[in-house]
Amino acid sequence: MATQDTILNQRYRLLGQQGSGGMAVIYKAQDLALGRTVAIKVLRPSLTGDPSFLTRFRQEARNVANLAHPNIVTLYDVGQDGNTYYMVMEYVDGQDLKKLIRAQAPFPVNRALDIGIQICAGIGYAHRAGLVHADIKPQNVLVTADDHVKVTDFGIAHALSVTQPAEKQNVVWGSPHYFAPEQAAGEAPTPASDVYSIGIVIFEMLTGKLPYSGTDQQELALAHIRDAVPHIDDFEPNVPVHLDRIIYKVMAKNPSDRYRTADQLGRILIGLQKQGEDLTAGQAPVSASQPVTKPNLPKASPYGAPPPKPAGASNTPPYPGAPVASGTPAYPAPAVASPQTNPSLPSRTNPNPAPTVASPVQATPYAGPVASYPQVSNPAPVSDMGSTGPEYQTPPAPLPIDPISVALGIIAFILVAGLLPLWIAVMQAWFSR
């Protein structure tokens, strides 16, 4: 499609191609009616003759139109100009995450966590709306100059309640390097599939490498299904051991062994980041020349739970010998929370909670800041609460003496005492009758 001279519906002037995907080409454009820069996603001409593909395109528009979140690209309009079908979206002035990874990976732990948390915020909002993205990869994550994240291209997202059983057998969803084992097997994606893909994106940010490789899509699919789950610290030894365990869990072969939704993973990452900042507040950064000593932890089997902490290690994270990357916090294990009944909240007792079954829930309006999640309250036990705990409350101090009240009390006493002889005389006269 020509640009500059191409105007869709006499309103959108195409300025230049920005990217392309399996079903569409992305253009930078100008909205002549509102005078703003937008991005336009144009369906490939070779697909416009396929009624089923057009139906999917319209479904995508309806799905994305219902998502309003700071970490999701906003949909403005959808239209048709002759045989050209298009969507008009928010223009994000930045690069896709894949380009940043190629140029700058491995990322510092803080930056990888921050980007991962924002991805979880946007995808978690979609999960609460009953949608799965199904194609999470760095190419679909746009990052501005100040590292603000916008997830785009919900191109094959489907409402969970209307997933067609027949499609599960005929469609391989997602991109081969990032899709979950169940997607590789041809099953329809779930929120846990998105969690798996987010884990691979974080893995790639921290190491600059992909966990699985293959010469074609079939080899990649088999690798996701059969190959052992790699550990991040095998590629990048300065990554904190607890972050390694979290990503190891996220990339579990069985969906029930992962976090169920992106919201859950986001809360875990926020807790890890916050505790790392607290532990390193006011401390000088570790010298880049200082050798890093990692604890000799046993590796878990590719299908089992993450490795346990070292025998005899303190219950207070980080464990002795945990690595500290230059200029980055030593991230401890996520905070321990009491058992919860809300399925949207993760357990922080360890990176491998009991398997649970995800269920779609209704969307709720987003009212918080970017990448904001409700925090889990962790009340300390009574024995750790010091003098402010319920067993150590100080008795209330006595009320101060008021001189005016004392004076009035004395006057009242004198008056009562003065009336006592009169009362006695009256009683005697009464009984002498």
Residues 6+ apart with CB under 8 A from 395: none
For residues 297-334, b (16+ Cβ closer than 10 Å) or e, as one string? Answer: beebeeeeebbebbeebeeebbbeebbbbeebbbbbbb
Other CB atoms within 10 A of residue 291 CB:
5
β-bridge mates for residue 20, sequence order = 25
Residue 5 known to be catalytic: no
Catalytic residue among 96, 114, 135, 244: 135
* Backbone CA torsion sign across 227, 232, 235, 241: negative
β-bridge mates for residue 87, sequence order = 41, 78
Catalytic residues: 135
